Amino acid sequence: MFKVKFLKFEYENLECCKSKREYEHNIAYSLLDELLKEVGINDYEFVKNENGKPFLKDIPIFFNISHTEGFCAVCINDSPIGIDCEKIDHNFEKRIPEFAKRYFLESELKLLEENGYDALTFFKIWTGKEAYIKKYGYNSSHITKVDTTKEAFERTMVDNYIITILK
C-alpha cells in the first residue's frame, strides 16, 4: 500500500508560524492528511512511542515525513518506512570531506572519494542514513552506525532536491 507525496513550496503566510521549520512541518502534516484520506482514513490520532516517534493510534499504517528548505516529502506504508529529503547544496562541497569523516563509514567514504566528494553523492548517503534511522526509530546518535552501501534505497530527484526512501 505504499504511497508518497512531494511538494515544493514558497514560504508564504509565515505569520501563521514561529519559524520556517514550523511552516515546513505544518505543510508536511497536511500532505500526510491528504495521503491518509486517499486510503480512506479520515479520523485518526497521533501518539508517540518510547523514543518519541509519532505513529497512528490503533491504525496499522506506518508513515514518515521529511522537510527541508522549501520542500517536503511524506510516505505511508503497511510496514515501517523511512524517508528523507534534502536540498542539494553545492556550496557545502568544500566542507564534505571534514563532515563525512565524522559521520560516514569507510565504505561510504570510499564511495564519496570515488565520486570526487560531490554534493549529490554526499546527500545520497546522508539522506540514506536519515531514512534508515527514521524507519527504525533510532535517535541521531545511531547515524554513524548505518552503512548505506548495504541497503536498497529508492531515490528520486525533484529539481535540486533528493528524496530517499527505505521500505
pTM of the model: 0.94
Nearest Cα neighbor of 103 from 127, 83, 70 is 127
CB 167 within 8 A of CB 154: yes
- Whether the per-residue pLDDT at 6 is higher than 90: the answer is yes
- Whether the per-residue pLDDT at 161 is higher than 90: the answer is yes
Provide the CB-side half-sphere exposure for 54 (13 A, CA): 10
pLDDT tens for residues 69-105? 999 999 999 999 999 999 999 999 999 999 999 999 9
Q: 3.90.470.20, 3.40.605.10, 3.40.50.280, 3.90.1200.10: which CATH number matches 3-80?
A: 3.90.470.20
> How confident is residue 18, by pLDDT bands cut at 50, 70 and 90?
confident
Residue extents of the structural domains in the chain: 3-80, 85-166
Alpha-carbon distances of 54 from 23, 47, 63, 137, 150, rounded to whole Å: 18, 5, 9, 9, 27
pLDDT: which is higher, 53 or 68: 68
pLDDT value at position 165?
98
pLDDT: which is higher, 15 or 36: 36
Q: Which three cell numbers stand for residue 167?
A: 521500505
pLDDT value at position 46?
96
> How confident is residue 31, by pLDDT bands cut at 50, 70 and 90?
very high
Dist. CA 139–CA 117, nearest whole Å = 26
> How confident is residue 15, by pLDDT bands cut at 50, 70 and 90?
confident
- Whether the per-residue pLDDT at 39 is higher than 90: the answer is yes
